[in-house]
Amino acid sequence: MDINAISAAAREAAQRGDWPTAERLWEDVRSLDPNNAAALFSLGVHAMQRRDFAAAASRMEAACAASPGDAMARLTLGVIRRELNDLSGELAAIEAALAIDAYFLPAILAKGAWLERQGMAAGAALYYRSAVKFAPPEQKWPDGLRLQLSHARSVADNFSATMEGSLNESMKDSLVSLPLAARARWQEAASIMAGRSEPYRSQCNQLHVPRLPAVPFFDVSLFPWVAAVEAATADIHAELLALLDEGGGEEFQPYVAYKPGAPVNQWKELNHSPRWSAFHLWRAGRPVAENLARCPRTAEALEAVSMASIDGLCPNAMFSALAPNTHIPPHNGETNARVVAHLPLIVPDGCSYRVGYDKRQWEVGKILVFDDTIEHEARNDSDQLRVVLIFDVWNPFLSEAEHALVCELMAAARRIVSPDA
């Protein structure tokens, strides 16, 4: 019988749990080829199973010499060195595995574990965070590494939270003197430095205008119409209540309405659902005349607004209703040429809004303006309906000449992509 046949027989014996036969067959392979890397590796593993770690180390060192590019052999040698209480030898073996493949996930986890056992929390968190980053999505984690990856994520997250708290503590006296927006900037900087979050950037589904600042929430002083719209809150609220009373909300249509066959991704739970619904006043750049006629005071207030006008896209204006205990998942908007305004009208306790790192509580009658191309989400964790008036306005950092360019560029793109539309 040749070496390949004996090796195959050894592997079959190991698969059926016949360890003595497997070990004997690997010894037969080694008698024919003393430097056979597979035999040396397997014999080292068998010695480990017998807890003969001295013999295991000898065999695994020989396997490493016979197969210089085998990262797993070096990592296994590290396990053996740990059992022999040889901490420096264990670390050397792990680092040798990483020198062969810096992205070898078991070795990254092993380095994190070694650092954790030595009480080196920062170093352990760094390697553990890298392991989770380089690993596939959680649902595809290898079964043999799932517990280690879960532990790695927990340790890294706990260290990041502690570090973020310490960084914020170091800044607290300086933060007090800053306005809210500037304060949030440095709190986010601490979060990024601690590894708790990544920088949030503008991600547009359609037109991205380069070199515009990615501002989560804008200073409302940039928009001269804000005071007039806020002053109309009571009248707008009254018109909203009339709509809800007249039709019981039935005229509100599901906001998410993908056609059959379209990929819905994060919208699966809300697709065609009344849990997030809208009463449209303007839709995709066109007024909804019959709805505007029913809300004359709201229509008048919107006339004072410099609403963004991009044919086929905006303005949009609507009463947006979020049902109790409903979550709008994180998502991004179409273009950073326009930004979005909220006038909160019905806001029970338990509602919240996040744009990028920044979180806000809606306050009835207090306008928020934000860049919806930055990842954002909304929650209504109350047992009551939440309603805000939403409408589109131009990004305040674009000139009127640039407004025209936005419209020209979008129209040209539509002609190319959908010439028959």
Q: What is the spatial distance between Cα 72 and Cα 14, in angstroms, rounded to a whole number?
A: 18
Can you list the residues of the chain whose pLDDT is less than 50? none
Is residue 44 within 8 Å of 60, Cβ to Cβ?
A: yes
Is residue 342 within 8 Å of 388, Cβ to Cβ?
A: yes
> Which domains, from first to last, does the chain contain?
3-159 (1.25.40.10), 220-417 (2.60.120.330)
Q: What own/partner pairs with CB < 8 Å and gap ≥ 24 does 4-7 have? A: 6/32, 7/36, 7/38, 7/39
Q: What is the pLDDT of residues 386-417, one digit of tens each?
A: 999 999 999 999 999 999 999 999 999 988 88
Q: What is the pLDDT of residues 330-368, one digit of tens each?
A: 999 999 999 999 999 999 999 999 999 999 999 999 999
Q: What is the spatial distance between Cα 405 and Cα 191, in angstroms, rounded to a whole number?
A: 37
User: For 179, how many CA atoms within 13 A lie in the half-sphere containing its CB?
Assistant: 4
First to last CA, the chain: 72
Q: What is the spatial distance between Cα 64 and Cα 80, in angstroms, rounded to a whole number?
A: 13
The pLDDT value recorded for residue 417 is 81
Q: Which residues, 6 or more positions from 70, have their beta carbon under 8 angstroms from its beta carbon?
A: 37, 41, 63, 64, 100
The pLDDT value recorded for residue 418 is 75
The pLDDT value recorded for residue 249 is 66
Is residue 210 within 8 Å of 285, Cβ to Cβ?
A: no
Host H or E run for residue 251? none
The pLDDT value recorded for residue 173 is 92
Q: What is the spatial distance between Cα 46 and Cα 25, in angstroms, rounded to a whole number?
A: 12
Helices 71-83, 105-117: inter-axial angle, 10-degree rounding: 20
Helices 37-49, 19-32: inter-axial angle, 10-degree rounding: 150
C-alpha dihedral sign at 411, 413, 415, 418: negative
Using DSSP's 3-state secondary structure scheme, residue 179 falls into coil
The one-letter code for the residue type at 67 is S
